[in-house]
Homo-oligomer: A and B are copies of this chain.
């Protein structure tokens, strides 16, 4: 996507963020209900589709918005301030489309370039139409350790068949396509890392979901296990048009997998902070008419939260910017892990402290703080987990080459 006509203008970027900001209040209104019922936010997704947002990462030349990673991060933060679970689910779609929009065909020719182009164009087209792609990666007991995945596929006439079990598939039952990471039986033993992505259609009769998602937070993302039994995938639904690219991309350019939802958790922290400030402003120092906000202790505590929130915002923005300017460099990769760590751990801490500062009324479910506290705790558990990010930063500082698969956590 080096063609600048493919990328948003600054004005378009601004407009995109504003559009997301405008969607947030509606999301916020519906958030409590979908949270209580662990019900997928259909209406929110319809609004996202109507706004053309399924094509947010699709180049403008293909009818999309051509958002940069930085704009995307800011946009999703706005959505998360309305409903974090919606933003999180929406991010899963963009992980697939966004990483595809980055593929360069430079130096690639012949039939391979043709296959890659064809596949890419198809994804772009579908996205612009409002079709939703979901990611089916994690496996039971293995988490997101891609190199250990047990789901397998083999070549058959006209395509592939794939079999295995996936866990934590977000948007399960509500997406149009599922991007399944699987191990090639044919490539086993060859030089190529035998891990590919295959796109399975929602109506494929050989996939089955178990709808058991019932969790602390992020309750409406429909993140459920998926069973795949000899499902046929036509060869033109091989992700990227080429086998064996999955792990390579994750190790070299982990930003989508690791940092796509940084904006989500930053948004939660930001929402918790704003809600707290509004609540504190309405309070009085007990037994007086003086506003509680005049109490130096309160100012001091708020200052501590403000400091960490502001730092997280800078870390996140810097990481997103580096992804745009020097994607895949050690600096960009380190930055994205750093931001993932900082946002993921800021959100639960800040929402917990915000409740503490606001007092007993802050735990009522009708207030967004309560949901923020629950949604927030989920961030550090998603890949790369907070502890994996710390290990990444620590190993890197101690001199390890983090692009070396043996050092890497996947």
Within 8 A of B (CB), among A315-355: 315, 318, 334, 338, 341-342, 348-349, 352, 355
The reply to whether the CB of A112 lies closer than 8 angstroms to some CB of chain B is: no
A-B contact list, 19 entries, CB within 8 Å: A143-B360, A148-B286, A214-B366, A216-B373, A216-B374, A273-B397, A281-B399, A295-B296, A299-B394, A300-B300, A300-B301, A302-B394, A303-B392, A305-B397, A310-B334, A356-B381, A356-B386, A363-B377, A374-B374
Determine whether the beta carbon of A398 is less than 8 Å from that of B280.
yes
Instruction: Kindly provide the distance from the CB of A60 to the nearest chain B CB, expressed in whole angstroms.
Output: 29
With A214-B366, A363-B215 known as contacts, the answer to whether A303 contacts B356 (CB < 8 A) is no
Alpha-carbon distance between A302 and B312 when the two chains are bound, in angstroms:
19
Q: Which 8 A-B pairs have the closest CB atoms?
A: A303-B394, A303-B390, A299-B394, A296-B297, A302-B394, A303-B393, A216-B363, A360-B381
Alpha-carbon distance between A277 and B394 when the two chains are bound, in angstroms:
10
Alpha-carbon distance between A380 and B334 when the two chains are bound, in angstroms:
29
The reply to whether the CB of A232 lies closer than 8 angstroms to some CB of chain B is: no
Determine whether the beta carbon of B355 is less than 8 Å from that of A391.
no
Determine whether the beta carbon of A360 is less than 8 Å from that of B389.
no
> With a CB–CB cut-off of 8 A, which chain B residues contact A62?
none
Determine whether the beta carbon of B293 is less than 8 Å from that of A296.
no
Within 8 A of B (CB), among A389-410: 389-399, 409
Chain A at the B interface: SS class? helix
> With a CB–CB cut-off of 8 A, which chain B residues contact A373?
216, 374, 377
The reply to whether the CB of A364 lies closer than 8 angstroms to some CB of chain B is: yes
Instruction: Kindly provide the distance from the CB of A220 to the nearest chain B CB, expressed in whole angstroms.
Output: 14
Determine whether the beta carbon of B377 is less than 8 Å from that of A359.
no
The reply to whether the CB of A304 lies closer than 8 angstroms to some CB of chain B is: yes
Please, which residue of chain B has its CB at the minimum distance from the CB of A318?
A: B314
Instruction: Kindly provide the distance from the CB of A388 to the nearest chain B CB, expressed in whole angstroms.
Output: 10
Alpha-carbon distance between A374 and B147 when the two chains are bound, in angstroms:
35
Determine whether the beta carbon of A168 is less than 8 Å from that of B306.
no
Contact with B along A63-82 (1 / 0, CB 8 A): 00000000000000000000
Within 8 A of B (CB), among A206-239: 214-217
> With a CB–CB cut-off of 8 A, which chain B residues contact A380?
356
Alpha-carbon distance between A168 and B359 when the two chains are bound, in angstroms:
12
Determine whether the beta carbon of A359 is less than 8 Å from that of B381.
yes
The reply to whether the CB of A370 lies closer than 8 angstroms to some CB of chain B is: yes
The reply to whether the CB of A103 lies closer than 8 angstroms to some CB of chain B is: no
With A143-B359, A310-B338, A342-B307 known as contacts, the answer to whether A299 contacts B377 (CB < 8 A) is no
